[in-house]
Amino acid sequence: MKTKILVLLSLIFLIVSCKKENENKNVLVGKWDWVSSVGGLAGETLTPSSTGIKMIYQFSNTTLIIYVNDSLANQSNYTISVQYKGTPQQISVLSYVPYRPGQSFSVENDSLFINDLFADGYTSTFVKEKN
């Protein structure tokens, strides 16, 4: 009986995990314009006007394309996983080449926040382009 319960719970967890990944991928699909990056050892703020860099992240259901100053800078398949990093709260992790093991992310309204997963990393903010 215990084995049946464990199998059932495992299946439920697997179904819920797959659904969460698909929901996360759907919310990412589209073009995102870089607004700022804040962090590093000095806590600096980088923006398109301060760096002269225009960056766009374009997500499909499976691929991330990064444009820098309207030129292709990177194209890679990406994955999303849900992790628990020393906290009971789950985080969504975006993994793609060259950023493995990944970066956490969240989406609020039309803003995408991507966070490096180390202490002196950056938090980058993107705004979704309107169609």
Q: Mean pLDDT per segment of 10 residues, for the chain of length 131 residues?
A: 36 38 72 96 94 97 96 94 74 82 90 91 95 72
User: Of 77, 80, 126, 119, nearest to 98 (Cα)?
Assistant: 77
111-116/91-96 β-pairing: unpaired
pLDDT of residue 118: 83
pLDDT of residue 24: 56
pLDDT of residue 8: 32
Three-state secondary-structure class, residue 1 = coil
Residue 60's identity, in one-letter code, is S
With beta carbons less than 8 A apart as the criterion, state whether 55 and 48 touch: yes
pLDDT of residue 85: 64
